[in-house]
Amino acid sequence: MTTYKHPHGHVFYRKMSHARPKISHGEGIYLFDEDGKRYLDGSGGPLVVNVGHGRSEIVAAMSEQAQKAAYVHAIMFTNEPTEQLSSELAELVPIPNSRFFYLSSGSEMVEGAIKLARQIQQARGENGRSTIISRHQSYHGMTLGALGVSGRPGLRAPYQAMFLDMPHIDPPNSYRDPISGEEAAERLEEAILDTGVENTAAFLAEPISGAGLGAIVPPDDYWPAIRAICDKYGVLLIADEVLVGMGRTGKWWGIDHWQVRPDIMVTSKGLAGGYFPLGFVAAKTEDVELIRQKLGDWNHGGTFSHHPVGCAAALATLHIMQQEKLVENSATLGQKLGQMLQAALGSHPNVGDIRGRGLFWAVEFVQDKASKTPFPVSQHLAWDIWQQAFAKGLIVYYSQGCADGKNGDLIMLGPPLIVNEANLAEMVAILTEAVYEALPVR
């Protein structure tokens, strides 16, 4: 197999020690490298490729828009795909009468959301409110503002002196800290009181935990209690739906599982199906209007905001999701995936927990089921399993640190939402082989 070891050529990548094959093309849930090896995209690349690879409808919509006008500056013009996408999304998001601002990556959207929260508070005359409370073991992105609110120590460490550290509370964790949602939400109230109500702009969290904790679903009373605390203290609630939005968990948005309405919401990964880097920050019209009336403008932006080709890609992606009922598929097949994982891996002595919602599942590995002791991070277990699976033609998503911020190995699955039951069976079979190879049972 041709592989490209680091260093080679003139490119460098984040992970520098391993070889990587060159991709030739993708089709549905599969990717093919230049030697013809097939990979089942069990992580949807990761959790981006909701509608599958090689969708000609999306390519056609992008090409049509690029031919008409590939780029227009959002300070001077609006464009049809952006207007149309926003009207259609307004019917889907849990923020009534919402407005949308577009940029590219999830990190950019999180930066946008925390700055928007600040400006909404300023427009309300609450000038002291600039602190954003978030959660430990969360992930909100790599830019400095997003790192300040993220809760993954390893990613933050080298840059700690360069960003403003925001207060973090412990998240609910059904596996390692099974308390009620109300009790977990009380941590927010304490943090607001510690910070000072007059200093607290917003609370930011992932409705269902993403890569940091691995598909932890909070107790049913958590989000309603969080909403009530935010209301009590005039704190804005920001839902980071970058990973769990766009149907990933079997509803359009993760927070829809609890019918809670955030004040601000962001998504990115699946919005344009991986065909274009596009994300949005959504807010209530009344808050956007308040900024217009009191501050004049929102002091934020970006050269590539409201990109017409990106919005055309997102619109085509959205239509495929609706026509092919992919959110429903995520809900029904997600349950099947959970059952299959449980049947195949539940009895493995080192599988501590299998959890998830919709088509987002995680397997947490432990040295011992009873004590839940994680493997030491230096063992790189998740990476080992990832490599075994990759060699067998399955792409999964891995992370470390779910147990205590440093140790704790996770493998996550988030296949394209177009999968069928046979695809899931193939995925689980390969993953099971990879797990038993990395962790043989004697």
**Is residue 206 a contact point for ligand PLP (CB under 6 A)?**
yes
Number of chain positions touching ligand PLP (CB under 6 A) = 14
- The span of 203-211, 231-239, 295-303, 373-381 binding ligand PLP (CB under 6 A) equals 203-211
Quote the CA–CA distance of 51 and 61 in Å, as a whole number. Answer: 15
Residue 190 is classified by DSSP as H
User: Residue from 122, 134, 268, 350 that binds ligand PLP (CB under 6 A)?
Assistant: 268
Residue 390 phi/psi, 5-degree rounding, is -60, -45
Mutual angle of helices 285-295 and 106-123, in 10-degree steps? 60
**CB of 238 closer than 8 Å to CB of 134:** no
User: Residue from 240, 353, 364, 409 that binds ligand PLP (CB under 6 A)?
Assistant: 240
- Cα 125 to chain centroid distance, Å, stands at 32
The minimum distance between CB 434 and ligand PLP, in angstroms, equals 22
Task: Tell me the H-state helices in 199-253.
Answer: 222-233
User: Residue from 58, 110, 314, 366 that binds ligand PLP (CB under 6 A)?
Assistant: 110
Nearest Cα neighbor of 82 from 109, 63, 100, 108 is 100
The minimum distance between CB 271 and ligand PLP, in angstroms, equals 10
What is the torsional sign of CA 142, 152, 415, 322? negative
Q: How many CB atoms lie within 10 A of CB 297?
A: 10
The CA-based dihedral angle spanning residues 357, 261, 102, 125, taken in that order and rounded to the nearest 10 degrees = -140
**Is residue 122 a contact point for ligand PLP (CB under 6 A)?**
no
**Is residue 211 a contact point for ligand PLP (CB under 6 A)?**
yes
User: Residue from 29, 93, 188, 242 that binds ligand PLP (CB under 6 A)?
Assistant: 242
For ligand PLP, the closer CB: 53 or 135: 135
- The span of 105-113, 216-224, 293-301, 326-334 binding ligand PLP (CB under 6 A) equals 105-113
**Is residue 243 a contact point for ligand PLP (CB under 6 A)?**
yes
- State the residue number with the nearest CB to ligand PLP: 106
**Is residue 111 a contact point for ligand PLP (CB under 6 A)?**
no
**CB of 402 closer than 8 Å to CB of 232:** no
Mutual angle of helices 222-233 and 181-195, in 10-degree steps? 20
**Is residue 106 a contact point for ligand PLP (CB under 6 A)?**
yes
The minimum distance between CB 232 and ligand PLP, in angstroms, equals 26
**Is residue 168 a contact point for ligand PLP (CB under 6 A)?**
no
For residue 60, give Cα distances in angstroms to 11, 56, 216, 279, 426.
30, 6, 38, 20, 31
**Is residue 195 a contact point for ligand PLP (CB under 6 A)?**
no
**Is residue 171 a contact point for ligand PLP (CB under 6 A)?**
no
Quote the CA–CA distance of 242 and 248 in Å, as a whole number. Answer: 10
User: Residue from 44, 52, 141, 262 that binds ligand PLP (CB under 6 A)?
Assistant: 141
Site for ligand PLP in 23-62 (CB under 6 A): none
- Non-local (6+) Cβ contacts of 367 within 8 A are 350, 373, 374, 375
User: Residue from 52, 210, 218, 274 that binds ligand PLP (CB under 6 A)?
Assistant: 210
Quote the CA–CA distance of 176 and 131 in Å, as a whole number. Answer: 28
**Is residue 202 a contact point for ligand PLP (CB under 6 A)?**
no
For residue 435, give Cα distances in angstroms to 17, 96, 366, 385.
22, 45, 12, 6
For ligand PLP, the closer CB: 82 or 105: 105
**Is residue 100 a contact point for ligand PLP (CB under 6 A)?**
no
The minimum distance between CB 92 and ligand PLP, in angstroms, equals 19
Quote the CA–CA distance of 148 and 165 in Å, as a whole number. Answer: 5
* Interstrand relation of 394-395 and 38-41 (parallel, antiparallel or unpaired): parallel
**Is residue 140 a contact point for ligand PLP (CB under 6 A)?**
yes
- The span of 54-62, 236-244, 251-259, 303-311 binding ligand PLP (CB under 6 A) equals 236-244
**Is residue 360 a contact point for ligand PLP (CB under 6 A)?**
no
For ligand PLP, the closer CB: 213 or 354: 213
357: which strand partners?
360
**CB of 403 closer than 8 Å to CB of 176:** yes
**Is residue 329 a contact point for ligand PLP (CB under 6 A)?**
no
Helix (H) or strand (E) holding 133: strand 131-135
For ligand PLP, the closer CB: 114 or 430: 114
For ligand PLP, the closer CB: 107 or 305: 107
Positions touching ligand PLP (CB under 6 A) are 105-107, 110, 139-141, 206, 210-211, 240, 242-243, 268
